[in-house]
Amino acid sequence: MMSPMLRKFKVKLNKLLYGSDTSVIEFNNRTDNVEGMSYLICRAIVPDIPEILAIERSVYAGKMPWDFDNFKNEINKRRSTLYLVARYNDELVAFAGIDFRRTNNIAHITNVAVAPNHQKKGLGRKLLKVMIEKAYEQKCKGIALEVREKNENAKKLYRDLGFKILSSKQNYYTDENEDALVMSLSFENAKER
């Protein structure tokens, strides 16, 4: 375990060398009770990917926006991303990913999906709230994401969490020529941190 002084020194050195804090983003595994169900929320690791892909397949009607290597690359960027998985009784039932260093200090939610038999139980909201807390902790200016224009469930969830529609990207999802809405949550007016 790194001492607090050494950690502080490392952060300062990284800032000096690279202009930003490039230390590994930490996440302590936690157990959360969501609507009476107990979920273990952990940082995703490469051996989780086959289960992540199975959820992806089940929520996107057999389509796989990301393959094994896409997830592996992102999960391994531990200085800029955080991928979380939620387990219920050892079964992987949801995942979500965020990139804290995408553009202009605005974090980007890259993924969120909940297995069909665990949807509508508050788990998607819980994972996103954890991501929002981490982005705030990372001193990001806000969070952005893209969502399919027709994905009403996800849009409602993001709106409930305070995201607002910023713009749209035409034919962003080439599989169905569907537009993406860019939604964002700003921390700019949040209280002093």
3-state helix, strand, coil in the chain (%, to 5): 35, 35, 30
Q: How many residues bind ligand COA (CB under 6 A)?
A: 18
- Binders of ligand COA in range 42-71 (CB under 6 A): 59
Residue 97 in contact with ligand COA, rule: CB under 6 A: no
CB of 74 to ligand COA, least distance (A): 15
Taking the C-alpha atoms of residue 143 and residue 103, their distance in angstroms, rounded to an integer, is 10
Distances from the Cα of 78 to the Cαs of 24, 118, 144, in angstroms? 5, 27, 19
CB of 145 to ligand COA, least distance (A): 6
Contacts with ligand COA, 105-134, as mask; x by CB under 6 A? -------xxx----xxxxxxx---------
With CB under 6 A as the contact rule, the residue among 37, 151, 166, 179 that binds ligand COA is 151
**Residues in CB range of 35: below 8 A, 6 or more apart:** 121, 122
Question: Quick check: helix, strand or coil at residue 22?
Answer: coil
Interface ranges with ligand COA (CB under 6 A): 59, 112-114, 119-125, 147, 151, 153-154, 156-157, 160
